[in-house]
Amino acid sequence: MMQIQTQGFSQQGSSGKEEAFEASWKKALQGDFANIDLLRSTLPAVQERAAQVRNQFKDSVFVGIGGSFWTPFALQTYFGEGAAHRLHFLDQPNSLYVNQILKRISDNSKVHFTFVSKSGSTLETVALYSALKSLESQWGYDLNSQSTVICSPGNGVLQTWSQDKQIPQLEIPLGVGGRFSAFSAVGTFPLLLLNRSVEDFFAGAEKARSEKAHIESLCKYSLSSFENNFWITQLWTYSQSLMPVAQWWMQLWSESLAKKNGVRVSTPMVCCGPRDHHSTFQQLMEGEKDKAIFVLQDIGREREHLSLDPLLAESLGASAVDWDLENILQASVEGFCGALESRDIPVLKMALDFSKLSAWGEFLMSWQLAIAQMGHYLGVNPFDQPGVETGKILARQYLKSMKSKES
């Protein structure tokens, strides 16, 4: 279960507007992304396909970007080491990476590709599909018989291909947005390929729905930070293995809350301690006080404990010789939070046992709910991202202009 501990803001977050805050909570709960029955209904097809893939293939390459990338990549980063079915990822259109990934596959007749795109027509994903298609004969795989497509119903490139060639297709329910899709096939398919428990994952999601007070803490801390002009929100993890889930959080926050007609919200960024104690920490302590801090601690990750040579204790002028490496990590966290407290910098600490899938379910659903609730409360649509359209249009124009230059 997620433990939350706050220092800093009194939680004025939504004071005087409790009714609106309550209404936004109810609205968040009603989102399709949080509809456990709806999401569970997608499971049987995912389970069936995952069983086939695990049976037939040794490696899976996930092709997708943004919301289609972070959930599977975060799960792989944490649970992938030593898994029987190996997951690989392609999100960037870059020939070097494509070749690097393909070189890692030992048997090209046993590699499976998962194409993930809610719309079925994301530029980067379709470009990677086209590149992989071109490489078929060179590498000796056959996309038509070695793929799965994950998308919403529609007429995108991927859905059309899937229908034409009977590629197995797993559905993201139409009302579930790409970055809110952790509990659709986007998250459950990789989990099942890694032979992990989707039941625990869903149990965590259900727990999040029932922990209204937890989500209220996350929201009110965040809203307070805006009211107090803290325009940067840093999420500090103390484990490299959690950096991708921190990035997942960052895109969820950034794309969902920052809208043209909305109120000003902070810019999220992710940091990794103690590594970044030697980077942005100096600025946190002596620069402008414009940052609110989340700390994400994995209290279950410490399955291995390496003891330390007495030399370290001696060098610190202490006599203890029974420290292990995790005590040093814990000391870093304590030093960090203590230093922030000495400067009155607000901190909200979240601690979970990420070695359990229920913690993943709880963390992901808690933040999906918190971001949706904040979006509703602030009067913006948390599920769209109209601001990125200009860039997409210009990118497509650039590609078309290349054509006319050469023709």
Span interacting with a copy of itself, options 25-33, 44-52, 187-195, 382-390, rule CB under 8 A: 382-390
Cα of first residue to Cα of last residue in the chain, in angstroms, is 61
- Position 91 contacts a copy of itself (CB under 8 A): yes
Which CB atom, from 5 or from 130, has the smaller least distance to a copy of itself? 130
- Position 282 contacts a copy of itself (CB under 8 A): yes
For a copy of itself, the binding residues in 131-170 under the rule CB under 8 A are 131, 133-135, 157
Span interacting with a copy of itself, options 12-20, 183-191, 198-206, 255-263, rule CB under 8 A: 255-263
Which CB atom, from 25 or from 281, has the smaller least distance to a copy of itself? 281
Which CB atom, from 217 or from 222, has the smaller least distance to a copy of itself? 222
Token representation of residue 318: 């202490």
For a copy of itself, the binding residues in 98-117 under the rule CB under 8 A are 98-100
What is the Cα–Cα distance from 296 to 74, expressed in whole angstroms?
A: 14
For a copy of itself, the binding residues in 179-238 under the rule CB under 8 A are 231-232
Three-state DSSP at 352 gives strand
For a copy of itself, the binding residues in 332-371 under the rule CB under 8 A are 332, 334-336, 338-339, 342
One-letter amino acid for residue 125 of the chain: T
Contact 349, 5 (CB under 8 A): yes
Which CB atom, from 116 or from 192, has the smaller least distance to a copy of itself? 116
CB 404, min distance to a copy of itself, A: 8
- Position 327 contacts a copy of itself (CB under 8 A): yes
Which CB atom, from 84 or from 306, has the smaller least distance to a copy of itself? 306
What is the Cα–Cα distance from 162 to 34, expressed in whole angstroms?
A: 27
DSSP letter for 35, please: -
CB 112, min distance to a copy of itself, A: 19
Among 59, 216, 255, 362, binds a copy of itself (CB under 8 A): 255
From residue 379, how far is each of 177, 229, 268, 365, 372 by CA, in Å? 18, 19, 19, 21, 11
Token representation of residue 391: 């860039």
DSSP per-residue codes, 121-174: --HHHHHHHHHHHHTHHHHT--GGGSEEEEE-SS-SHHHHHHHHHT--EEEPPT
